[in-house]
Amino acid sequence: MTLPSVTLIHICGGVTPIPGRVTQLEIFNVTYNQVLLIWNDKNVLSKCIKTYEIEFSFDGIHNFTRINRNDVVFLSFQYAPQEEEVRDLNTGVGEIEQEEEYKKEQTIGWYRIRAIDYWGRTGHYSKVVKYFENERHIYTHL
């Protein structure tokens, strides 16, 4: 372990319910091409959560891609896509269209989150939330 560092020890035992649905997903603009996602875990019902899987899609229907590379145990996540992530998200888009897409703010699109417990059981996805450009706070559900 390198210094400085933080170690979290979380002990879970006994039978726990399958994680419930994440609720109240909200998205805040931080700066250009950077957003903060926050959510509520009141319906998750299990405190034995290994991570929250955060996914993004440009169209909200197809090709949701996990955007948190590391496990997230907190009820928030700050997202600022890197160049290689933008290329991965734009897979299947033509070269000219891809160049145009890269010039746009890459955080504009649809987000969803689900909980995963220590045994790999997944909860239902949150409602899909759309983030619009230049909006301070978004709370729009499908």
Contact 53, 121 (CB under 8 A): no
Q: Per residue in 85-103, pLDDT tens?
A: 555 555 555 555 555 555 6
Q: What is the pTM of this model?
A: 0.77
CA-based nearest residue to 40, from 79, 76, 82, 84: 76
The answer, yes or no, to whether the previous bond of 4 is cis (omega within 30 of 0) is yes
Q: How much is the pLDDT for 85?
A: 57
Q: Which of 15-40 are b and which e, b meaning 16 or more Cβ less than 10 Å from the residue's Cβ?
A: ebeebbbbebbbbbbeeeeebebebe
Pairwise pLDDT comparison (137 vs 46), residue with the higher score: 46
Band (pLDDT 50/70/90 cuts) for residue 15 is confident
Fold exhibited by the domain 23-138: Immunoglobulin-like (2.60.40)
- Whole-number pLDDT of residue 136: 47
Q: Where are the beta strands (DSSP E) in 67-128?
A: 76-79, 109-117
